[in-house]
Amino acid sequence: MRRLTLTLALASTLVLGSLPAAGAVSADDPAAPTAGRHGTNWLIVGIDSREGLSAAEKRRLSVGGKGCNCTDVMMLVHLSEDERRASIVSLPRDSYVEYAETTQPARKGKINGAYALGRGPLAVATVEKATGLHVDHYLETGFTGFEQAINGLGGAVVCTDKPLQDVNSGLDITAGVHHTDGRGTLQYVRARHINRPGDLGRVRRQQRMVSDLLAKLRAEGALAGPAATLATARKLLASVRTDDRTGLWDVVRIGWKLGRMDPSRTEFATVPITDFDHRVTGVGSTLIWHEDRSRALWAALAADRPFTGDTRVQPRPADLVPTNPAGVKVRVDHAAVAAALRAARFAVTDTSAAAPAVRHSGPPVIRYAPGREDDAATLAMALPGARKEVVAQHDAVFDVLVGTAPVGVRKVTYDRNVAEGAPVTGDHLGCVGEGHPPTPAGAPASAP
């Protein structure tokens, strides 16, 4: 009887929308931050710490090495004022920012280092300083906490269109869609030493995992109503820490809203970057946010607007290509075309000395190995009108065979932000619901 009474009371507050967000500020308060007046912002972090882990646990979770006691994952989740849209922005851990310390002059460093200096409070304050947004709620977990949370929620769903292996994280999965336990999911979201290497590809996999986990919980009814959401929130909070402004009911409320939200109403992005290898003495390689695009991103969240489709956040030039020309190796049997493609930043070998005496009729032909479609599309964009031919057993280098038709070479634009972190809605990001049922990790699976 007590549980029924509690559930009915919770249902009433959620349906009527009368449960206030902890730490929320009044829209009539002239001292309140502008961003705090529109929707609710959550900061969710994963901590890179081996504290308390035995040698056996480190081996089991593939988290050997020295932890930095810093944030390894950082996501800012914005729930709109009408609670009908969620925006999730990943803040790469190597982002170079100014810490929100009281010392003068303020120190600068990687955003993940704020936690090491002042734990959760300084991490929150630093994100607020860097973005101009007010953070209402805070959640954090470590390696074992993440594993326990995923296991408590019945596992997760992950996907890949090609086999992924990373000896550092322990990841080893085939192409396809997989149901993973907490350990397998941790390996998936931590992997960095795969193609494409580094944090942005990893961040996109983290976003995809979140999108698919929400879809899985919806499908299972774990967020279907107040009682189910309450049970799910309790499982989550058993292994996740919060700040003193965040309680069980806050987690229930956002969970219930996300459970009723269509995936097209969730959007994901990574902070736009302008310099992917900014070297700082004593700090190392860092990421510099793109000033105009990141400002537009924070302005959209502050105004409670979606950022997907906002060209101020992510402009899309007509000559945009999916891969970096500098990574596309090409053999070209025409000296002038080879020089032009080299000027367009492709890695070119001039084979004109061995060109045929009689060229084929028509436009250039691009020959390449199976599975290189993205790079082929990039090269074809630079050679308007060229024909593409997939050749079995072809080596890793592309061949451009120039014909009798005039050849025009144009420069193309590669934007790593678009390739690895462009704004996207949940219905275009995840694996679940795309006709590919999950299979146990390690088992054969069809490619998504």
Could you write out the DSSP letters of every residue in 157-204? Answer: EEEESS-EEETTTTEEE-SEEEEE-HHHHHHHHH--SSSSPSHHHHHH
Tell me the mean pLDDT in the region 366-379: 95
* Whole-angstrom distance, CA of residue 377 vs CA of residue 315: 20
3-state secondary structure of 67: coil
Beta bridge partners of 157: 179
Cα→Cα distances 257→240, 251, 324, 407, Å: 20, 10, 39, 55
Residue 66 is predicted with a pLDDT of 74
In one letter, which amino acid is 4?
L
- Report how far Cα 98 is from the mean position of its chain's Cα atoms: 23
3-state secondary structure of 43: strand
pLDDT digits (tens, 9 = 90+) for 7-51: 434 433 333 333 333 333 333 332 333 434 589 999 999 998 888
φ/ψ of residue 127, rounded to 5: -65, -40
Per-residue pLDDT for 447 more than 90? Answer: no
Per-residue pLDDT for 440 more than 70? Answer: no
Tell me the mean pLDDT in the region 383-404: 97
Cβ-contact 270, 90 below 8 angstroms: yes
Could you write out the DSSP letters of every residue in 213-278? Answer: HHHHHHHHTTTSSHHHHHHHHHHHHTS-EE-TT--HHHHHHHHHHHHTS-GGGEEEEE--EEEEEE
pLDDT digits (tens, 9 = 90+) for 251-265: 999 999 999 999 999
Token duo for residue 36: 């705090």
Per-residue pLDDT for 5 more than 90? Answer: no
How confident is the prediction for the chain on average, in pLDDT? 86
* Whole-angstrom distance, CA of residue 267 vs CA of residue 108: 30
pLDDT digits (tens, 9 = 90+) for 264-317: 999 999 999 999 999 999 999 999 999 999 999 999 999 999 999 999 998 888
> What is the CB neighbour count within 10 angstroms for residue 144?
18
Q: Parallel, antiparallel, or unpaired for β 108-110 and 96-98? A: antiparallel
